[in-house]
Structure 1
Amino acid sequence: KTSRYSTKSLHKNEELIKMRNIGIAAHIDSGKTTVTERLLYYTGRIAQMHEVKGKDKVGATMDSMDLERERGITIQSAATHVTWKNHHINIIDTPGHVDFTVEVERSLRVLDGVVLVICANGGVQSQTLTVNRQINRYKVPCAVFINKIDRMAANPHKCLTQLRSKLRHNAAFVQIPIGLEGKSTGIVDVVMRKALYFEGNNGQNIVEKEIPEDLKEITEIKRTELIECVSNVDEELAELFILDQTPTVQQLKDAIRRATILRKFTPVLMGSALRNKGVQPLLDAIVEYLPNPAEVENFAFDGNTTNENGQATKLQMSSDRTGDNDLVALAFKLEQSKFGQLTYLRMYQGALYKGDNIFNVRTKKKSKASRVVRLHSNKLEDLEEAYAGDICALFGIDCASGDTFVSKVKHNISMEQMYVPDPVVSMSLKQDGRDDSGKMSKALNRFSKEDPTFTVTWDNEAEEMVVSGMGELHLEIYAQRMNNEYGLNVTLGKPKVAFRETITSRVEFDYTHKRQSGGAGQFGRLIGYIEPLPEERNTELEFLDKTVGTNVPRNYMSAIKKGFLEDCCDKGPLVGARVMGVRFVVEDGASHMVDSSDIAFRLAAQGAAAQAFEKSHKIISEPIMTVEVTAPAEFQSAVLSSINKRKGVINDQDVDSDYVTVTCDVPLNDMFGYASELRSVTEGKGEYAMEFCRYQPCREDVQEELVRQAHDAAASPVKKKVVGRKRS
């Protein structure tokens, strides 16, 4: 039986060979968005170029968000598509700032190749290292473009050395510059042995000339170096090299392509995107050296079958575009638009036609692809069909980032998931004024759904909303978006730390609650003691009944327990923090036949606890976090100094040739702002992760400051008024 797909798309496999899915990634301010703008212009996708934060106030095409144009940075990854020499290229421009690293993660997860942009002056920088780790994580073939060779102190040779030493790339020049800094006039194509000059108002006219005499020798040296680097990882070129035969241009290009696709070699190109130099050869390199979707292996897991270890069977996706295979697509990004939720899809297998029914593997829900679009920044182009290898988007699909879609509900196939880093910075979020329309809830739900590194929690103890993200800039951007897009005036601040109060010694109590106001009164007497729990249980509360006889009837024990554990421990006597690590023991008491009741004994428990707390020595405990810091080995002393300054206790150090990993225990109250400090002392190259370890008594100076703040807050008339309103 012939499917409707195969009759329509027998020619699609030829198109697959001429398709490229690439990303542009780099450290912040390396010129990614400017490079993408030039790619769009030279391929005829846009008629006029605009600059990032340019004088014309238009901004780059891929920076469509107002905040991006205002700040001059890329916040969200943006997709577009161009055509160059009959090749269809899908391009995703990614952010460079570490706070938006999840945008790079989700993009590299679905791309077949990446152009790593490096500043000729800055070289390999902090986010370059992070992006390189992401490239290695998803095994994406890579080409390097050294940008800004016209800047002062531009040094492409330093960049190549750092590529080899810091990033461990087997890299070599396929181009060399004709002049640097202000003398930059063009580039030499080492493979073709041609000098390329970019003439015209926008560098649109490429003029090929003979290599200048002063560069011929260095060109041959670099060409020999290129052949050596590639022949080390490519057998066909190695045979020619051993036989001392000079490869032809095509043989050398084919070898570079094979080695690049296998991630054994990285071609290095260069230019100045802002000065319109070297961009067209970059497009040629994308076509010639980076893989098409059929040359990249993509795997999924079949939940219906398992292997010997009981794990889902790993399947290789079929990349042909005939449509005979069942649909498998991955939703890698969600975005809220004026038309509803926009779901970005990477097609891995089969075909999708407008109006088709598709099934979410995770939820088992059926959805209809009522509108299929292709993206050009924030502009949409409707499609009738999409095939394996395509990047498209759907409207009206209810899903989460990372969901897999299939054409039949019986298929339980899930694509490999992307890595989502844990949030590292938390801040309190407060709204100025009341929100009666639910805008706050809508905004937070939308942002947390779009961005898995942005999380929202409600702290019952501190009675405040806490937002967490990858950095202070990350959270500031979302606060500003709430103001711009929803009209919400919100304020970010330091969140409250969950301190605890406890006691250090055993204290006895003997308390009688008695009240008579006409009619039945209240009476209850409790005798016993409170004591601290062992250190390993200092986050628990315990109640013991050691009464003998009927002085305290058993039916009142439940009320007494609630009086101790719930009413007394919610707010401690020192600073109003929760009381933990205490055992309440009742040994004896007294009751009245008429006046005793549950409420009487519950109030008696409250009074007994207050009496005991007043006589006891009270301390404040604070949460201690286990922190793991990773940074280049050259910054080891700076990292240790920053930890010591925050009263951290270092437990372990692990130093290899390149990186040092420090494991330590640091009070949470001292960790706020550490992300910014670590980036500062390590030139942005350090990272850290932390998790809760234990509670321990805080330092005396910290306790004194907390007690002073609590007294000042209690004495403030404004605070009293607020507390009174809450209680009422």
Structure 2
Amino acid sequence: MKTNIRHLRNIGISAHIDSGKTTLTERVLFYTQRIHAIHDVKGKDGVGATMDSMELERERGITIASAATYCQWKGHDINIIDTPGHVDFTIEVERSLRVLDGAILVLCSVGGVQSQSITVDHQMKRYNVPCIAFVNKCDRSGASPFRVIEQLKNKLAHNAVAMQIPIGLEADHQGVVDLVRMKALYFRGDNGETIEELEIPAELREMADEYREQLIDAATMFSDELTEAVLEEAPVTTEMLLGAIRAGVLQRQLTPVFMGSAYKNKGVQPLLDAVIDLLPSPKDVINQALDLNAEEAPVNLQPDNALPTVSLAFKLEDGQYGQLTYIRVYQGKLEKGDTVINVRTGKKLKIGRLVRMHADQMEDIPALGSGAIGAMFGVDCASGDTFVTPGVTLTMTSMYVPEPVISLAIAPKDHKSEINMSKALNRFSKEDPTFKTHVNDETGETIISGMGELHLDVYIERMRREYSAIVTTGAPQVAYRETITQRAEFDYIHKKQTGGSGQYGRVAGYIEPCSEADFIFDNQVTGGSVPTQYIPACEKGFRNCMAKGPKLEFPVTGIRVVLNDGASHSVDSSDMAFQAAARGAFIEVYPKAKPIVQEPIMKVVVETPAEYQGAVMGSLNQRRGMILGAQDEGVMCIIESQVPLAEMFGYATILRSLTQGKAQFTMEFAAYKQVPQSIAEEIAKKVAEKKQKVA
């Protein structure tokens, strides 16, 4: 609480799978004395990295849930969130970047800018997060940090500039040359904790001068003082240069690149210095809320403890002591015993316990000041809720949540498993907005949906371990959709006369394909042929038909309904009658609009040793894949393609056997496209069989 807000940093560490995010966080915690021994991901000692606190994460050697921690470095407080790399857990990265002020983009010096690095970069852009880059694994054979800097410029359009040059690469990697202070840094001691500053080796002097020139040249764009010094050939001071670079970073116009090897304990402390020198404090970032009393006009928030509180719950976790709500305070402060209001529900609640997180451990704190990230207990809320001081009418904007693309039917083995399964599903769908669950009305099966096979795998495994719920899974289901391809007109009368008051409603107009939205209702009725009070009923009737298409009962998207005529009866017309008329009109006109089935197409990027390039391309072609391009990176070859999700099940095993386990692939949703005729017929056959079974 007493911390000067300018001495606070909220940063995230994000990157492609296996670039060394968790290993880097482990070293940061060690050097800032939060932990006193280093453990490795998939460690031989069976302990596993601090931030991978889930048993599953330690076994698989991957990060599944983002974990928060807090440390201090040179009088500054740093909140760090370690995020997953797999695209299946993309929501964890989204929600972390939503509340962070700055980020470290970790890149592998061998792999360079990989497919997931591109996704993470898009997410940073979406939330306008300034970042610095760290080229990790400089000790590996094939390491080439300068190639990575070129890729940052070409593939991600970053104005990337080297802050260091490596002293030796691969097995000879000894340290780095700091281009700002022009010193050679060597990392001595068992764990690289002692930094030795020496003169730059003679053989690197010329190269260091050349890269320093480039650095100064890039930085002059952001500082008049530095430009003057260069023009007058006056000495460039460290403060002047760092000030200019910081200005470039805050505007997202400059990306300083640091180098090292987290695993070999090299280059981590200068990176920590850079977090303090170059990344923004909460004061340097403009955060906006929407004013509900002024038609959601944006309002700039001030990170000041004296002002009314505005804070955002960005992640939920059900722990052994109840719901843990991760929260970021944007304005004002949260204290134990304070009363706040949940803007979404309008409910008042009292803050009982506030904690600061360190992976899965926590320490109690009396208050959270402006800009701080912490967690609170026993508060019933949803992810993305805003908490404010009573009387404040501000709300934070929600974050982007991608739609699930894959579904599985699951069934519990026995009654005990059934009870535990429903508990687990309740918890997981509340914690993770990309994980959805529902019961199929016709088959009675429980369906879970998510972002990929690994995503659903992990949740099924967690049900077994954390809830002792043994479930069996059906074949994975793809989220198909239906749409129409041409305009078709309707004119439908709904009439019912069976004693008592009848029902009457006539609707006329047309439906047509629409690419802007899933469903648009356009009311063009003139002269009151359909009374105004019944228009919403017509819209409701059409909208209700979108959930299940008349063709194969998949959700219908991309339709514009235009209502331009109709008729009503003074006694027999009602909301119900017009809803029924709209439903009847839709069922009648839909087949005339040439409906088609669409399937999700995935962007699949395979990284494989060059000798298996042909085999991998062949395997993608067999799966109705379309190769978009292949890049030869020397030893490795990167193949970009688009493949229907339906063909990608079990691909990990096939790819492993094709390439002796040396290739890896990432997959993310690209678009919906029409299913070929032969496959549409197969799908229709399966749907018909399913209906017969139910009947």
- Which position in structure 2 is the counterpart of 1:341? 323
Moved more, 53-62 or 429-438: 429-438
Does residue 357 in structure 1 map to residue 339 in structure 2?
Answer: yes
Change over 3 Å in CA distance of 1:486–1:685 after alignment to 2:
closer
Q: In the alignment, is the contact (CA less than 8 A) between 1:360 and 1:403 conserved in 2?
A: yes
- 1:197-208 equivalence runs, <5 A: 197-208=186-197
Report the alpha carbon displacement of residue 239 of structure 1 after superposing the two structures with TM: 3.1
Mapped partners of 2:668, 2:415: distance in 1? 38
Mapped partners of 1:441, 1:633: distance in 2? 37
- Which position in structure 2 is the counterpart of 1:100? 89
Mapped partners of 2:289, 2:58: distance in 1? 38
Mapped partners of 1:364, 1:690: distance in 2? 38
Mapped partners of 2:165, 2:620: distance in 1? 44
- 1:660-699 equivalence runs, <5 A: 670=646, 673=649, 684=665, 687-689=668-670
Pick from 444, 448, 464: which aligns with 1:467?
Answer: 448
- Which position in structure 2 is the counterpart of 1:624? 597
Q: Look up the SS of the partner of 1:166 in the other structure.
A: helix
Mapped partners of 2:348, 2:83: distance in 1? 31
Change over 3 Å in CA distance of 1:338–1:413 after alignment to 2:
same
Report the alpha carbon displacement of residue 213 of structure 1 after superposing the two structures with TM: 0.6
Q: In the alignment, is the contact (CA less than 8 A) between 2:8 and 2:282 conserved in 1?
A: yes
Does residue 149 in structure 1 map to residue 125 in structure 2?
Answer: no
- Which position in structure 1 is the counterpart of 2:301? 317
Pick from 441, 458, 473: which aligns with 1:492?
Answer: 473
Report the alpha carbon displacement of residue 23 of structure 1 after superposing the two structures with TM: 0.8
Structure with higher Rg: it is: 1
Counterpart amino acid of 1:673?
F
Pick from 431, 441, 452: which aligns with 1:450?
Answer: 431
Counterpart amino acid of 1:253?
L
Change over 3 Å in CA distance of 1:436–1:252 after alignment to 2:
closer
Does residue 67 in structure 1 map to residue 67 in structure 2?
Answer: no
Pick from 425, 429, 438: which aligns with 2:419?
Answer: 438
- Which position in structure 2 is the counterpart of 1:220? 209
Mapped partners of 2:319, 2:236: distance in 1? 52
Counterpart amino acid of 1:315?
V
- Which position in structure 2 is the counterpart of 1:188? 177
Report the alpha carbon displacement of residue 630 of structure 1 after superposing the two structures with TM: 5.7
Pick from 396, 405, 420: which aligns with 2:387?
Answer: 405
Moved more, 489-498 or 207-216: 489-498
Q: In the alignment, is the contact (CA less than 8 A) between 2:479 and 2:599 conserved in 1?
A: no
- Which position in structure 1 is the counterpart of 2:159? 170
Change over 3 Å in CA distance of 1:702–1:350 after alignment to 2:
closer
Does residue 140 in structure 1 map to residue 122 in structure 2?
Answer: no
Report the alpha carbon displacement of residue 438 of structure 1 after superposing the two structures with TM: 2.0
Report the alpha carbon displacement of residue 462 of structure 1 after superposing the two structures with TM: 3.3
Pick from 80, 84, 94: which aligns with 2:69?
Answer: 80
Q: Look up the SS of the partner of 1:275 in the other structure.
A: coil
Mapped partners of 1:192, 1:132: distance in 2? 29
Report the alpha carbon displacement of residue 366 of structure 1 after superposing the two structures with TM: 1.0
Gaps of 5+ in 1: 1-8, 307-311, 501-533, 547-552, 559-576, 581-620, 654-659, 715-722
Q: In the alignment, is the contact (CA less than 8 A) between 1:622 and 1:695 conserved in 2?
A: no
Counterpart amino acid of 2:327?
L
Gaps of 5+ in 2: 503-551, 556-593, 609-613, 629-638
Mapped partners of 2:616, 2:287: distance in 1? 39
- 1:289-688 equivalence runs, <5 A: 289-306=278-295, 312-321=296-305, 323=306, 325-408=307-390, 410-435=391-416, 438-495=419-476, 624-625=597-598, 627=600, 670=646, 673=649, 684=665, 687-688=668-669
Moved more, 226-235 or 342-351: 226-235
Change over 3 Å in CA distance of 1:305–1:55 after alignment to 2:
same
- Using the size of structure 2 for normalisation, the TM-score is 0.75
Report the alpha carbon displacement of residue 203 of structure 1 after superposing the two structures with TM: 1.0
Mapped partners of 1:330, 1:544: distance in 2? 49
Mapped partners of 1:58, 1:662: distance in 2? 38
Report the alpha carbon displacement of residue 250 of structure 1 after superposing the two structures with TM: 1.6
Q: In the alignment, is the contact (CA less than 8 A) between 2:22 and 2:51 conserved in 1?
A: yes
Change over 3 Å in CA distance of 1:578–1:94 after alignment to 2:
closer
Report the alpha carbon displacement of residue 692 of structure 1 after superposing the two structures with TM: 9.4
Q: Look up the SS of the partner of 1:435 in the other structure.
A: helix
Report the alpha carbon displacement of residue 703 of structure 1 after superposing the two structures with TM: 6.7
Q: Please list the CA deviations of residues 698-722 of structure 1 after superposition, one character each: whole Å capped at 9, or x if unmatched.
A: 6666777888x789x98xxxxxxxx
Q: In the alignment, is the contact (CA less than 8 A) between 1:129 and 1:685 conserved in 2?
A: no
Q: Please list the CA deviations of residues 138-157 of structure 1 after superposition, one character each: whole Å capped at 9, or x if unmatched.
A: 11110111111001111101
- Which position in structure 2 is the counterpart of 1:549? none
Report how many residues are paired: 583
Q: Look up the SS of the partner of 1:429 in the other structure.
A: strand
Mapped partners of 1:494, 1:224: distance in 2? 59
Moved more, 140-149 or 694-703: 694-703
Q: Please list the CA deviations of residues 576-611 of structure 1 after superposition, one character each: whole Å capped at 9, or x if unmatched.
A: x9899xxxxxxxxxxxxxxxxxxxxxxxxxxxxxxx
- Which position in structure 1 is the counterpart of 2:579? none
Mapped partners of 2:441, 2:272: distance in 1? 55
Q: In the alignment, is the contact (CA less than 8 A) between 1:105 and 1:419 conserved in 2?
A: yes
Report the alpha carbon displacement of residue 238 of structure 1 after superposing the two structures with TM: 2.8
Counterpart amino acid of 2:192?
G
Q: Look up the SS of the partner of 1:329 in the other structure.
A: strand
Pick from 17, 28, 39: which aligns with 1:28?
Answer: 17
Q: Look up the SS of the partner of 2:156 in the other structure.
A: coil
Mapped partners of 1:459, 1:65: distance in 2? 32
Moved more, 185-194 or 429-438: 429-438
Mapped partners of 1:205, 1:401: distance in 2? 42
Report the alpha carbon displacement of residue 359 of structure 1 after superposing the two structures with TM: 0.7
Report the alpha carbon displacement of residue 229 of structure 1 after superposing the two structures with TM: 1.4
Change over 3 Å in CA distance of 1:430–1:291 after alignment to 2:
same
Change over 3 Å in CA distance of 1:64–1:633 after alignment to 2:
closer
Counterpart amino acid of 1:151?
R
Q: Look up the SS of the partner of 2:239 in the other structure.
A: helix
Does residue 90 in structure 1 map to residue 66 in structure 2?
Answer: no
Change over 3 Å in CA distance of 1:469–1:222 after alignment to 2:
same
Pick from 240, 262, 279: which aligns with 2:251?
Answer: 262
Q: In the alignment, is the contact (CA less than 8 A) between 2:417 and 2:471 conserved in 1?
A: no
Mapped partners of 1:535, 1:99: distance in 2? 32
RMSD between aligned residues: 4.1
Change over 3 Å in CA distance of 1:465–1:283 after alignment to 2:
same
Mapped partners of 1:220, 1:481: distance in 2? 54
Report the alpha carbon displacement of residue 360 of structure 1 after superposing the two structures with TM: 0.2
- 1:274-285 equivalence runs, <5 A: 274-285=263-274
Mapped partners of 2:641, 2:139: distance in 1? 40
Change over 3 Å in CA distance of 1:672–1:127 after alignment to 2:
closer
Q: In the alignment, is the contact (CA less than 8 A) between 1:233 and 1:264 conserved in 2?
A: no
Q: Look up the SS of the partner of 1:225 in the other structure.
A: helix
Counterpart amino acid of 1:377?
A
Q: In the alignment, is the contact (CA less than 8 A) between 2:308 and 2:331 conserved in 1?
A: yes
Q: Please list the CA deviations of residues 22-43 of structure 1 after superposition, one character each: whole Å capped at 9, or x if unmatched.
A: 1111111111111111111111
Pick from 197, 217, 232: which aligns with 2:221?
Answer: 232
